[in-house]
Amino acid sequence: MQKVPVITIDGPSGAGKGTIAQMLAARLGWRLLDSGALYRALAYAAGQAGVSPEEEDSLAALASRMNLEFRAGRVLLDGEDITDAIRTETVGNAASKIAAIPKVREALLAWQRAFARPPGLVADGRDMGSVVFPDAPVKIFLTASPEERAKRRYNQLKEKGIDVNVLELAEAIRERDARDRTRSIAPLKAPAAALEVDSTGRSIEEVFGQVMAKVEETLPDLKN
C-alpha cells in the first residue's frame, strides 16, 4: 500500500503514544501523522459550524473539504491555530463519537494515507496498523491502565490551571475505551503482529527504548 516505510503506534488516549511518536519521528527524521488531531479538528470544526454528530452526511462533507495543516507541532484549520482548542475533554469526547461514523472515516482515509511520503512516516492513532496502514513493517500497540492515564491527564490539565477530578477523568477514559473498542468500524484493538507495550508505571525513556529496539530489529538499515 505505501511506498515508504511506516511505523504505526496505536492505543487508547493517554497511553503515551503521541509522545513516543514524536520522539521516533524526531530520531528518524521522518514525517509525523497525529490522526487523533484529524478527528479532533473535525469535531472542533463541526462545533463551530453547528453540525451535530448525528448529521453524518454533513460531517463527511465537512471532513472532505477541511483545510488542515500540521506545522511545527501546531494544528492549523483554515489558517487558524487550533492546537490548544482541540485538546479539551469536550472536543476529545466529540471526536470519539464522530470517529465511529463510517462516512467520516472513509472521507479521512485517503487524507491519512497521503501522509506516507519519503523518507518515512510515524503514524499515531487507534487504527493506523489495523486499517490505515495494514502493511506497515513496524506496528506498536501502546497502552496503560485507566488510572495511570487519568493521572497523566490530570497533571497535564493541572499545569494549564484547569481544575478537574481524577476519578471523573478515569471514568470518562473507561467510557471512551468501551466506545472505541466496540464501535462497528475500525475498533480500537492491537493490530496483527504488533508489539504490545504497557507503559503503566514506566518512564517515557524506558518505553521509547523498547519501541526503538523493535524498530531497529525490524528495520536494521536505520541503525547509524
Burial of 223 (0-12, 13-18, 19+ CB in 10 A): exposed
Strand partners, 10: 125, 141
The answer to whether 115 touches 1, Cβ cutoff 8 Å, is no
8 vs 100, residue with greater confidence: 8
pLDDT digit string (tens) for 192-217? Answer: 899 999 999 999 999 999 999 999 99
pLDDT digit string (tens) for 65-81? Answer: 888 887 777 899 999 99
Which are the contacts of 130, defined by CB distance < 8 A and separation ≥ 6? Answer: 10, 186, 189, 191, 192
Distance CA 136, CA 130 (A): 9
Q: Is the dihedral of CA 28, 34, 35, 36 positive or negative?
A: positive
Whole-number pLDDT of residue 223: 60
Residue 185 is placed in which grid cell?
468500524
What domains are there in the chain, each with its CATH number?
A: 6-214 (3.40.50.300)
Confidence of residue 222 (pLDDT cuts 50, 70, 90): confident
What share of the chain in percent tops pLDDT 70? 98
pLDDT digit string (tens) for 3-51? Answer: 789 999 999 988 999 899 999 999 999 999 988 889 999 999 999 999 9
Angle at 93 between CA 92 and CA 96, to 5 degrees: 90
Distance CA 49, CA 97 (A): 17
CA dist 184 → 100, 101, 178 (Å)? 7, 9, 12
Q: Write b or e for each residue in 94-115: b if 16 or more Cβ atoms lie within 10 A of its Cβ, otherwise e.
A: bbbbbbbbebbbebbeeebbeb
Q: Write b or e for each residue in 24-60: b if 16 or more Cβ atoms lie within 10 A of its Cβ, otherwise e.
A: bbeebebbbbbbbbbbbbbbbbbeeeebebebeeebb
pLDDT at residue 1 tops 50: no
